[in-house]
């Protein structure tokens, strides 16, 4: 029974990772992240 619980947990973690990857690599999120990095690099100290 414990092994099946680990298997379900691994499947859920992989599914979550795939969804997170899709969100991060989408066009809108990528553009927003690029804007944040660009703004940080151009910031004056």
pLDDT by residue (tens digit) across 6-45? 999 999 999 999 999 998 888 888 888 889 999 999 988 6
Which comes out higher in pLDDT, residue 2 or 11? 11
Q: What is the pLDDT of residue 1?
A: 57
Continuous segment of H or E residues that includes residue 31: helix 27-42
Gap between the Cα atoms of 37 and 4, Å rounded: 42
- Whether 30 contacts 24, CB under 8 Å: yes
pTM: 0.59
C-alpha dihedral sign at 32, 23, 21, 27: negative
Q: What is the pLDDT of residue 17?
A: 96
Count of structural domains, the chain: 1
Gap between the Cα atoms of 16 and 2, Å rounded: 21
Q: What is the pLDDT of residue 18?
A: 95
Q: Which domain holds residue 21?
A: 2-42
């Amino acid at each position: 029974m414990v092994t099946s619980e680990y298997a379900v947990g691994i499947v859920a973690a992989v599914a979550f990772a795939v969804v997170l990857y899709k969100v991060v690599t989408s066009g809108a999120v990528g553009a927003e992240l690029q804007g944040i990095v660009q703004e940080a690099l151009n910031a004056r100290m």
